Amino acid sequence: MKIETIKKVLSEFSLFRELNDLELTKITDIAIARDWKKQSHVFLQGDPLENVYFIYDGKIKIYKSDINGKEQI
């Protein structure tokens, strides 16, 4: 995804709506756009919290497994 496209996508989120072009550029300099295939995992329970994810298109399922393996969606 091109830098200008990332800027446009981020500017649509209320968190970034008030930022000017220079501020958005600083964020896009460290942004990574990725595609995931259906049924793949973006992150797993217990992974260290190192990233922030913004979903541009599609759906994700967020769940936590309890000690019996039952999903809490």
> Rounded to whole angstroms, how far apart are CA atoms 51 and 66?
24
pLDDT at 48 over 90: yes
> Rounded to whole angstroms, how far apart are CA atoms 2 and 6?
6
Q: Are 25 and 7 in contact (CB under 8 A)?
A: yes
pLDDT of amino acid 40: 92
Residues 15-38 have a mean pLDDT of 91
To the nearest whole number, what is the mean pLDDT of the chain?
89
Q: Using CB atoms within 10 Å of the CB of residue 51, give its burial: 0 to 12 exposed, 13 to 18 middle, 19+ buried.
A: exposed
Indicate the pTM of the whole model: 0.65
Q: Are 6 and 28 in contact (CB under 8 A)?
A: yes
